[in-house]
Amino acid sequence: MSKRLCVTTSRQIMDSQKLHPGATGELSGLLNELIVAAKIISAEVNMAGLADILGQSGKTNVQGEDVQKLDVFSNATIKRRMEQCGYICVMASEEEDGIIPVLDGYEGKYTLAFDPLDGSSNIDVNVSIGTIFSVHRKISDGKQGTEADLLQKGSKQVAAGYIIYGSSTVLVYTTGDGVHGFTLDPSVGEFFLSHPDIQIPERSKYYSVNEAYTNYWFDSTRKYIEHIKKIDRDSGRPYSLRYIGSLVADFHRNLISGGIFLYPRDRKSTDKPEGKLRLLYEAAPMAMIVKEAGGVALTDDGRDILEIEPTDLHQRVPLIIGSRKDVEEAMQFFLT
Ligand code: AFP
């Protein structure tokens, strides 16, 4: 076994804890609990097709148990695991309207915001989906956390990450000491370090955007996309399009291979003037990761995603994220 394959998530988390004198181990405990939830979700995702076929109606599986929709299952799994882990004081989920309290007597000093199964419209067609999480420190008084604890800007995150359920299950996270990726070995049920200290390439040849919305786009988006599609061999254009429609999958590919992902403002729906993606559950955690990996995350009017003060748990935000030089180049179109 190579040395790298010996490093489990627990070992990496403990090593990183040692870099912070005075750390109590609570953040490590929180991450370890989340990792258990991720393993449970991963097992269920792998069974999804089977459960559906065997369950027929979608209501019962072969053992006669209720088959829950995977996004509902993932939400319930994370909630149940974390509400009594003792490390957090309040949660918010992309799937729920309000804050989620933890059990009395189990209040800890962190908050957790999560998207239990991002890209869930891809479940039935075997496309990669994922769980995204974001952790802040509690700022309010009292034992139980409040909405104010969750409505903190991204630069105050103490940890962020995602688990992608793809050809293999991969966990990527940061606590501010680099970005590390771990691959789940299902035969032993353990995540092993597979991508230490990830750095996103500073320039890429891939772009990810829902190009079907061209006719809803504002001029800036249209001009930038036209630019990266123009033939210019010296600067590596045209770029290639890669769009899965599952942020975790699109982001993960761009993080490893380089790329720019855009979900800018458009004229598609009047109820989503800021685009579709959520600040707390999608944009801010991905922004922390990409920044730690040397990339950039901005809005389409040039604001740093990490510096946006959230005002609503489900606030949406335009997102342009990825390789540094690509995002900088995009800004020349978005800011003129
Ligand atoms: P679902 O969870 O409804 O599939 O939405 C996924 C998502 O929020 C994000 O993962 C994708 O990047 C984005 O939506 C895709 O949205 P479009 O279908 O509008 O391109």
Q: Whose CA is nearest to atom 13 of ligand 1?
A: 245
Q: Which atom of ligand 1 is nearest to the CA of 278?
A: 8
Q: Distance between CA atoms of 114 and 161, rounded to whole angstroms?
A: 10
Q: Is the CB of 322 under 6 A from ligand 1?
A: no
Q: Which atom of ligand 1 is nearest to the CA of 250?
A: 12
Which residue from 263, 272, 274, 280 has its CB within 8 A of the most atoms of ligand 1, so it is best to mutate? 263
Q: Distance between CA atoms of 291 and 207, rounded to whole angstroms?
A: 18
Q: Whose CA is nearest to atom 16 of ligand 1?
A: 245
What is the tens place of the pLDDT at every residue in 9-42? 888 888 877 887 778 899 999 999 999 999 999 9
Distance 192 CA to ligand 1 centre (A): 29
Pairing state between β 88-93 and 179-185: unpaired
Q: Which atom of ligand 1 is nearest to the CA of 129?
A: 10
What is the tens place of the pLDDT at every residue in 169-228? 999 999 999 999 999 999 999 999 999 999 999 999 999 999 999 999 999 999 999 999
Distance 119 CA to ligand 1 centre (A): 5
Q: Whose CA is nearest to atom 4 of ligand 1?
A: 119
Category of 157 on φ-ψ map: left (φ > 0), alpha (ψ -120 to 50) or beta: beta
Q: Is the CB of 175 under 6 A from ligand 1?
A: no
* pLDDT values of the chain reduced to their tens digit, one per residue, 336 residues: 455 568 998 888 888 778 877 788 999 999 999 999 999 999 998 887 666 543 333 444 444 555 568 889 999 999 999 999 999 999 999 999 999 999 999 999 999 999 999 998 888 788 999 999 999 999 999 999 999 999 999 999 999 999 999 999 999 999 999 999 999 999 999 999 999 999 999 999 999 999 999 999 999 999 999 999 999 999 999 999 999 999 999 999 999 999 999 999 999 988 899 999 999 999 999 999 999 999 999 999 999 999 999 999 999 999 999 999 999 999 999 998
Q: Is the CB of 245 under 6 A from ligand 1?
A: yes
Q: Whose CA is nearest to atom 18 of ligand 1?
A: 245
DSSP strands (E only) in 81-217: 88-93, 100-101, 110-118, 129-137, 157-165, 169-174, 179-185, 190-195, 206-208
Of 154, 102, 156, 159, the C-alpha closest to 135 is 159
Distance 299 CA to ligand 1 centre (A): 17
Q: Is the CB of 121 under 6 A from ligand 1?
A: yes
Q: Which atom of ligand 1 is nearest to the CA of 122?
A: 4
Q: Whose CA is nearest to atom 2 of ligand 1?
A: 119
Which residue from 253, 260, 276 has its CB within 8 A of the most atoms of ligand 1, so it is best to mutate? 276
C-alpha 211 chain-centroid distance: 22
Q: Whose CA is nearest to atom 1 of ligand 1?
A: 119
**CB count in 10 Å sphere of residue 123:** 19
Of 95, 114, 119, 131, the C-alpha closest to 246 is 119
